[in-house]
Amino acid sequence: MDLSRRDTIRAGAALAAAAAVSRIVAPSLAQAAVSASTTLTTTYGPGPANPQGYRKIVGLPGEPRIVRTDLGVAAGAGRASTREALLSFVQLSDVHVVDHQSPGRLEWVDRIETTGLFSSSYRPQEMLTAQVADAMVQAVNAQASGPVTGLPFTFVIETGDNSDNCQYNEIRWNIGILDGGTIRSDSGALAKYEGVADNNKTYYDVHYWHPDAVPAGKQPDIYKADHGFPTVPGLLDAARRPFTAPGLDVPWYTCFGNHDGLMQGNFPHTVPTSLLGVGSLKVISPPTGLSDTDIKDALASQDVNKLIGHLTVSPSVRLVRADYKRRTVTRKQIVDEHFHTTGAPVGHGFTSENRKKGTAYYYFDQGKFRHVVMDTVNPNGYDDGSLDSGQFTWLKKTVEAATGKAVIVYSHHTVDTMTNPLVGTGGDLSPRVLGGDVASYLLTQPRVIAWVNGHTHKNQIFVHSRGDGSGGFWEINTASHCDYPQQARIIEITDNHDGTLSIFTTILNHAGPADYAGDLSNTLALASLSRELSVNDPQANLAAASGTLSARNTELLVGTPADF
């Protein structure tokens, strides 16, 4: 009998779940599978700088695994010999699949950004986000199993900002890349590029990188002149070219991020902002007559509508092909789109109740674990997050009902970035629940062992201790796909049979090679070029994004829940 791809995914999921329940004894690290994409084998980093400071990516030696006992839980000397494999999965975060030609994008505010709301609203590598996502899928499929336990991956989970501007087409590209199929990350006039990066002389702006040669009579852009960025003829066409995505070989789940729920990750849906995205006017340069102070005030007040009236009077507004697929979509509509899928599970975690009510939090049980996925996006605006009071009540019931299981919670925001108290949208005037209160509650629940999240675009691991010697939980925060270092994270859990569990984290590079070598013919080469561009992005903080060794490949010790 021929098996469809979905049949294969479901069969693999059943086998993985069975393996988790039967508590297979794990092989040693030397026996487990380690693909070339894990940083245990190879890391990627900047090579020597040319006279203008531009650096190519080079391959570097693999990194060690750091054992962390910060919770006060000791690492038993004999635990490797008694270890049993329980769980193996992959976290993707901040994929930011970008419609880089959309009139709904406000790249021009990047040059005057001081508030923090629109930092990196333009990136030189942003036309290649779909290819990076595909290259990460290929890396996950090639690795297939945990490097410590050898267990096949049970699932993959995205921890938010799967799209960049809550647009319908971005959401569909993200789902399509994970499901598999033909992807064309192009919009508007499909016969040509219409955005900030081409060589149209009328709208040529030196504040953006232009991959093609400098047009006659124009000055080199600042990326070429000041930072040594290369000329890459044909890149804009290559980035828009359709490609066939293999899709993930395992089930995948999703989580809601602020860029999925808010325009540019900051602004609530309004009629003017929605019309901007589907319209035919693309702002290339700052509008005339609008001062930097006006723009900063509009951003700080969370009122993008103050800017929209100025957009049509700018001499640098470009006429582009309108595209209804660029429409911004609500949380309820995004949830619904995940039921239009060829992958598994249908809904990708979202339930029929989520679909009916327009909520985006849920849980699922597999083996000895309960996975609790929160929606930390504040619909009232602003990039940082918080919970509504109803969801906090649901969280408590869901965690406390997980008898006999260990609990892992997931969200887009970190504890420290859940500081958004704004209320008002949708008639809900209840106070928002901030990250500190959520963490304090979770510390009262010994079955909670980890909180996995994104948002910061950094590799970080924080310890949340009860402070009385009884342990706590680990907060595992993973970098983005769209910014350097463009990495994901493998998470594995073992029972050491000495009163402790080990949570192993392993950083995974996407499958693009170190050097794209001038090749624009496939997604892996284009993803490689994206990594190179990202390491040279003038706004990048490479050390902060990569994180310390103790935040990358680790073994995190935590006490075994009493009823586990």
d(CA 70, CA 525) in angstroms, rounded, equals 40
- What whole-number distance in Å separates Cα of residue 354 and Cα of residue 397? 17
Amino acid 279: pLDDT: 92
User: Residues 101, 540: contact at Cβ < 8 Å?
Assistant: no
Instruction: Look at residue 320 in the predicted model and tell me its pLDDT.
Output: 95
Per-residue pLDDT, 305? 61
Closest CA to 285 of 204, 225, 187: 204
In the predicted model, what is the mean pLDDT of residues 516-539?
97
Q: Where are the domains of the chain?
A: 5-99+116-185+247-266+328-559
What's the half-sphere exposure (Cβ side, CA atoms, 13 Å) at 383?
A: 19
Measured between alpha carbons, how far is 443 from 474 in angstroms, rounded to an integer?
10
The confidence score (pLDDT) of residue 21 equals: 31
For residue 5, the model assigns a pLDDT of: 34
* Mean model confidence pLDDT for the chain: 89
Task: Classify 496 as helix, strand or coil.
Answer: coil
Q: What is the pLDDT of residues 145-187, one digit of tens each?
A: 999 999 999 999 999 999 999 999 999 999 999 999 999 999 9
Mean pLDDT over residues 342-353, rounded?
A: 98
Cβ atoms 361, 398 nearer than 8 A: no
Cα–Cα distance, 466 to 409 (Å, whole number): 17
- What does the pLDDT look like over 8-39, one tens digit per residue? 333 333 333 333 333 333 333 333 444 567 99
Alpha helices (H) along 431-553: 435-442, 523-536, 542-546
Q: Residue 412 pLDDT more than 50?
A: yes
**pLDDT digits 0-9 by tens, 279-328:** 999 999 887 666 666 666 665 555 666 666 555 556 688 999 999 999 99
pLDDT at residue 374 greater than cutoff 50: yes
| The CATH number of domain 5-99+116-185+247-266+328-559, selected from 3.40.1120.10, 2.70.98.60, 3.60.21.10, 2.40.30.10 | 3.60.21.10
Q: What is the pLDDT of residue 125?
A: 98
> What is the pLDDT, as a whole number, of residue 37?
78
For residue 254, what pLDDT band results from cuts at 50, 70 and 90? very high
Tokens of 194: 């219409």
Q: Which tens digit of pLDDT belongs to each residue from 37-80?
A: 799 999 999 999 999 999 999 999 999 999 999 999 999 999 99
